[in-house]
Chains A and B, each alone.
Chain A
Amino acid sequence: GAVVSQHPSRVICKSGTSVKIECRSLDFQATTMFWYRQFPKQSLMLMATSNEGSKATYEQGVEKDKFLINHASLTLSTLTVTSAHPEDSSFYICSALTSGGPYEQYFGPGTRLTVT
């Protein structure tokens, strides 16, 4: 199956700093990628849809100025958590949708963010 990678897998940062998380589709092109967030013992919640070459679409309640998404190529989307706070500590998971039908979605392994 297709592979999606995320980097870093874990990151610890201080409150007020910014953190960038990368999501790459390794062997296929993805016009669309999704970013999910998962708090401990909870389900995954869609944060935003990342579209190559255009602005991301954010879900209700997700601050676009805080979670900056850039999808500059067909294989890379980045999520930057700006001015991170402890409440942003979470597991961030991306997925990539294959371009062209049938559309299949592949998940990255996730990034554990801890803000101290």
Chain B
Amino acid sequence: SQQGEEDPQALSIQEGENATMNCSYKTSINNLQWYRQNSGRGLVHLILIRSNEREKHSGRLRVTLDTSKKSSSLLITASRAADTASYFCATAGRRALTFGSGTRLQVQP
């Protein structure tokens, strides 16, 4: 299965700063989802954006989707040390999800 690319691969910021992660994918999608994964743990679903949506907000999270460019971005505003984790985008084709390569975010207190 094709896998999306995320950039940056790693991001280190100070607490209070914003973090932006980008995801590109290759195939047509029904929706795109963002997940967080703390080291050695399971996935936490953050937000889902449908293919007919361009932007979605949830708390400190803002997700955009550009289907013409096959890309999405996740913005975390006013980051906290607890936001330190890996973030993955995942695209839903038929049923199974295809995950991006992930961005490792480190928020320095």
Q: What residues of chain A have their CB less than 8 Å away from a CB belonging to chain B? A: 32, 34, 36, 41-46, 49, 59, 91, 93, 95, 97, 103, 105, 107-110, 112
Q: What residues of chain B have their CB less than 8 Å away from a CB belonging to chain A? A: 1, 3, 40-43, 45, 88, 92, 95-102, 104
Assess the B42–A108 pair: CB atoms within 8 A: yes
Residues of B within 8 A of A93 (CB): 42-43
Of the candidates A43, A97, A110, A112, the one whose C-beta lies within 8 Å of that of B99 is: A43
Interface SS of chain B: loop
Assess the A46–B96 pair: CB atoms within 8 A: yes
Residues of A within 8 A of B100 (CB): 43
Task: Name the residue among B1, B41, B43, B100 with the largest chain A CB count within 10 angstroms.
Answer: B43
- Cα(A49)–Cα(B45), bound, Å: 20
